[in-house]
Amino acid sequence: MAVKATLNRLDTKGSPYLYVAPFFILFGIFGLFPLIYTGYVSFNDWNLLDGGAHQWVGLANYREMLGDSYFWNALGNTLSIWVLSTVPQLLAALWIAHLLNHKLRARTSLRMGVLLPNITSIVAVTIVFTQLFGRDFGMINWLLGLVGVGPVDWQADTWSSHLAISTIVMWRWTGYNALIYLASMQAIPHDLYEAAELDGASPTQQFWRITVPNLRPTIIFTTVISTIGGLQIMAEPLLFAGTSTPTGGSDRQFQTIALFMYEQGFREFRFGYASAIAWTLCLIIAIFAVVNFLLTRRIAKDEE
């Protein structure tokens, strides 16, 4: 009997840990270990091609990075593309979710439809958009031509390349965020709206006074997630260049941090330097996530 009791107690106390263990084991292997190992590598002069020969150099990689104009250039590009894509994206997602929340015909298929861009292959999407933004035969330039605007060499300039890349990001992620907002909107009690309507609130007023404040935690969540994604952007600028060179255009005008890291790691084979960039990117994302969290919470509170 005593054995059974012990087993029982073990079961109630121990099982929950067993149930959550797979996540922590996987996280330890695929998350924590690479994180720490990358940190170790970043303190070394580590040549990837040279059979992994390496030498401890302390903070030298970080010092070099801070003085590297290409690093700051990449950071600036990343922030620019992040702002250009995240802000309109989340606003558009909010609006789309609001529309989908109404009684519509074929509502379910419309709701599923907004997710379609997200499940298409990122490579395919980018290639299609790169064609659309083509200099000589792209559809966007053709449309601009119709309204009398001369062709834009989308890849050549900083602003135009950032705009084009942001469009790709927005196309992929707006629907995804819209669905998250929609789910959250449906949890808002309906009597709130009914009461507001009785008081004579217009749909716009209802949206800003009821919907948005109630979505506060969701907005924080999507902003943080979009920030993490936005700061890591790599495939889009890499493919946008069309020639799979990781320099992000003739003058690095759309080289992002992740792309710069990739260039240093897998073209220059400077594994230590690339790891230092990785860790810095990690730090930047952490700072952004915290600032984001504080700011969005503030804004949402003010509106209440």
Partner 1 sequence: MRLSRSARLVAAAAATAMALTACGSGGDSGSGSDQVTLSVSLFGNFGYQELYKQYEKDHPNIKIQERTADYNAHHRDLATHLATNAGAADIEAVDTGFIAQMREVGNQFTDLGTERASEYLPWKWQASLTKDGKQIGYGTDVGGLAICYRRDLFQQAGLPADRDQVSAAWASGWDKYIALGEQFTKKAPKGTAFFDGGGALYNAVIGQAPVGFYNTDNSIVVSSNPEVRKAWDLVVQAIQANLSAKLIESSPEWNNGFAKGQFATIACPAWMMAKIKDQSKAFSGKWDVAAVPGGGGNWGGSYLTVPKQGKHVEEAKKLAAWLTAPDQQAKVFTTQGLLPSIPALYDKPEIGALKDPFFNNAPIGKIFTTAAKELKPQYQGPRAGDIQTTIRDGLVRVEQGKQSSEQSWTQTVSDVERLAK
Residues lying near partner 1 in the complex (CB under 8 A)? 27, 30-32, 34-35, 38-39, 48-52, 127, 130-131, 134-137, 153, 156-157, 224, 228, 231-232, 234, 242-245, 247, 250-251, 258, 261-262, 265-269, 271, 274-275, 278-279, 281-282, 285-286, 289
Q: 248 in the Ramachandran plot: left (φ > 0), alpha (ψ -120 to 50) or beta?
A: left
d(CA 227, CA 239) in angstroms, rounded, equals: 21
Q: Compute the least distance from the CB of residue 251 to partner 1, in Å.
A: 6
Q: Compute the least distance from the CB of residue 248 to partner 1, in Å.
A: 10
d(CA 78, CA 97) in angstroms, rounded, equals: 27
> Cα–Cα–Cα angle for 162, 94, 119, nearest 5°?
65
Residue 157 or 201 with smaller CB distance to partner 1? 157
The count of C-alpha atoms lying within 13 angstroms of the C-alpha of 4, restricted to the half-sphere facing its C-beta, is 1
Residue 219 or 258 with smaller CB distance to partner 1? 258
Q: Compute the least distance from the CB of residue 33 to partner 1, in Å.
A: 9
d(CA 160, CA 292) in angstroms, rounded, equals: 27
Residue 178 or 281 with smaller CB distance to partner 1? 281
Coil vs helix vs strand at 267: coil
Q: Compute the least distance from the CB of residue 56 to partner 1, in Å.
A: 19
User: E strand or H helix at 54, and its extent?
Assistant: strand 54-56
Residue 170 or 277 with smaller CB distance to partner 1? 277
Residue 135 or 301 with smaller CB distance to partner 1? 135
Residue 81 or 210 with smaller CB distance to partner 1? 81
d(CA 152, CA 143) in angstroms, rounded, equals: 11
Residue 10 or 128 with smaller CB distance to partner 1? 128
Q: Compute the least distance from the CB of residue 155 to partner 1, in Å.
A: 8
Q: Compute the least distance from the CB of residue 204 to partner 1, in Å.
A: 35
Q: Is residue 170 a contact partner of residue 90, using CB atoms and an 8 Å limit?
A: no
Q: Compute the least distance from the CB of residue 288 to partner 1, in Å.
A: 10
> Cα–Cα–Cα angle for 279, 68, 167, nearest 5°?
70
Residues 6+ apart with CB under 8 A from 273: 61, 64, 65, 264, 265
Q: Is residue 303 a contact partner of residue 208, using CB atoms and an 8 Å limit?
A: yes
